[in-house]
Structure formats: C-alpha cells, structure tokens
Amino acid sequence: MDIICCPLDKQELELDARQEEAEEVIFGTLTCTQCGERYPIEDGIPNLLPPDMREA
C-alpha cells in the first residue's frame, strides 16, 4: 500500500480485503481515495491497469 497508487491520478488507494492468507490479501478491492476508481485484487495480484486497458 505504501508503494502502489491509482494509475490515473497517483492518489492513495483504500484497501477492502475480502480474503487474506498469511498477511497477504488474496481477494479484495482497491479504491482511489480521490477519483473513486476501483481496482480488483484477484489471486493475490492487484490489477492496477487503467480501466481502458483492463479487458482481456
């Protein structure tokens, strides 16, 4: 969390952890505190692609 940010406006992200294992978030959501854009965490990997690159 101290390393990543919103790829659009570089603002802080707020973490909503749904599933954690060994202090690691496996599933959850990161939400930009500024623009409100939401980024999923799936299988331990945050997907911080901007929305227009997210398909595929």
Q: Can you give the binding site for another protein, defined by CB under 8 A?
A: 2-7, 10, 43-50, 53, 56
With b for 16 or more beta-carbon neighbours within 10 A and e for fewer, the 23-55 pattern comes to: eebeebbbbbeeeebebebeeeebebeeeeeee
Rounded least distance, CB 33 to another protein, Å: 13
Q: Which is nearer to another protein, 15 or 45 (CB)?
A: 45
Rounded least distance, CB 7 to another protein, Å: 4
Rounded least distance, CB 15 to another protein, Å: 14
CA 23 to chain centre: 16
